[in-house]
Structure 1
């Protein structure tokens, strides 16, 4: 039976703080999955567009982002599977909205409201 030697630490207090901050690895794994969904520029553009529209249809998202309806629908399926967007049907039209408050806050970091940056629109 072999035992692993204790890891040598240069600063045990900082290592303990880092370990405590790391916390549950399942949370890290979940955020990694979320970041992978958001890492694609097209999906990020969709999230930013949804954020500013509050609710928007696939057709309108396609027009705004320059994507096809099919590409938007596929991206929204993935974003929905990750719990980042939710859909609401109004008659024949399905509108999408952000479903995750953390992503809402992240978008404010990525793309602040135009009124705050002096941009028009």
Structure 2
């Protein structure tokens, strides 16, 4: 059981090979924390809606994101500040307009897994106005995760690829 940490080596395994495979499958703890933080970003409906809009529409301005998602411009700006700090999105200045694009290459494939609705079926009815308009931000914390903004993954953070 060469992969079992020393502090757990005294415990008996039913299948040592499977335990080592499971440990290898989990990967490095820092990478696991980074992915958990990414999933926490995706877990809030307002952030997810913004990320989907940014990913699928390309570089987009705050006011256009607010219009597309039904989230207030203030909440969009606050959420984008959080997403920028995490290295998930980046801003590009185009004259007086700031447009946001997806930066974290590991998030794009996750967003691609979410099916698009046909244009005539698009509706905000499934997401409450409160969920979308507040963007899920409450004093810098990510709801349901217990993570603060400082614990989010950032560009260069470890990923499952190293």
Normalising by structure 2, what TM-score? 0.65
What residue is the counterpart of 1:43 in the other structure? 47
Give the alignment partner of residue 108 of structure 1, picking from 91, 101, 112. Answer: 112
Quote the Cα distance in structure 2 between the aligned partners of 1:105 and 1:63: 25
What residue is the counterpart of 1:53 in the other structure? 57
Q: Map of 1:56-95 to 2, 5 A cutoff?
A: 56-95=60-99
Deviations 1:69-101 (A, max 9, x none): 000001111111111101000111000000011
What residue is the counterpart of 2:38 in the other structure? 34
The runs of 5 or more residues in structure 2 that have no matched partner are 1-6, 121-162
Which of structures 1 and 2 has the bigger CA Rg? Answer: 1
The runs of 5 or more residues in structure 1 that have no matched partner are none
Following TM superposition, the consecutive aligned residue runs of length 4 or more in structure 1 with deviations greater than 2 angstroms are none
- Number of positions where the alignment pairs a residue of Structure 1 with one of Structure 2: 114
Normalising by structure 1, what TM-score? 0.86
Give the alignment partner of residue 18 of structure 1, picking from 13, 18, 22. Answer: 22
Classify 1:41/1:81 alpha carbon distance in 2 versus 1 (closer, same or farther; 3 Å). same
